Amino acid sequence: MALIAIEAAIRINDPAQRDAAVAASIPFQKGTRDDEPGCLVYCFAADPVEPDLIQVYELWEDEATLAAHFDHPNYHGMRDLLGKFGLKSAVSRKLRIDKTAPVYGPDFKATASFD
């Protein structure tokens, strides 16, 4: 089985509302993490540089757990909530991860290699 990652960039029409949108999403983020099997990471966070941007990072055990999420009330609630804040744009993609490795080796040096 391969892990599934989702990354997204959500832009809010009014940058002054971005932090409120992230704060309002906390119950859905927590609910997804706590209640949905296969959810390894579920994070919608304010970008520290761009005031209208919410960065999204999700990690799922496999396609089946992601499919279940798309049918879950948490998913629908999050979509409805963010829509109420006025989306300027939303771009997302899913990635299937077939291999993982640590970034740092025993010598504490970062490596891009998967060996």
Instruction: State yes or no: pLDDT of 1 exceeds 80.
Output: no
Q: Which of 7, 92, 12 lies closest to 52, judged by CA?
A: 12
How sure is the predictor about 16, in pLDDT bands with cuts at 50, 70 and 90?
Answer: very high
Q: Please say whether the structural domain 3-97 has been given the CATH code 3.30.70.100.
A: yes
Q: Which of 67, 63, 56, 65 lies closest to 28, judged by CA?
A: 56
How sure is the predictor about 115, in pLDDT bands with cuts at 50, 70 and 90?
Answer: confident
Sheet holding 87-97, edge to edge: 39-46, 53-60, 3-12, 87-97
Q: What is the pLDDT of residue 106?
A: 92
Angle between helices 73-84 and 26-35 (to 10 degrees): 170
Each residue's pLDDT tens digit, 69-88: 999 999 999 999 999 999 99
Contacting residues for 109 by C-beta, under 8 A, at least 6 apart: none
Q: What is the pLDDT of residue 63?
A: 96
Asked whether 42 and 58 are in contact (CB, 8 A), the reply is yes
How sure is the predictor about 33, in pLDDT bands with cuts at 50, 70 and 90?
Answer: very high
Domain-by-domain residue ranges, the chain? 3-97
Each residue's pLDDT tens digit, 34-57: 999 999 999 999 999 999 999 999
Each residue's pLDDT tens digit, 90-110: 999 999 999 999 999 999 999
| Token pair listed for 19 | 């932090």
CA–CA distance, 111 with 107 (Å, rounded to integer): 10
Contacting residues for 19 by C-beta, under 8 A, at least 6 apart: 46
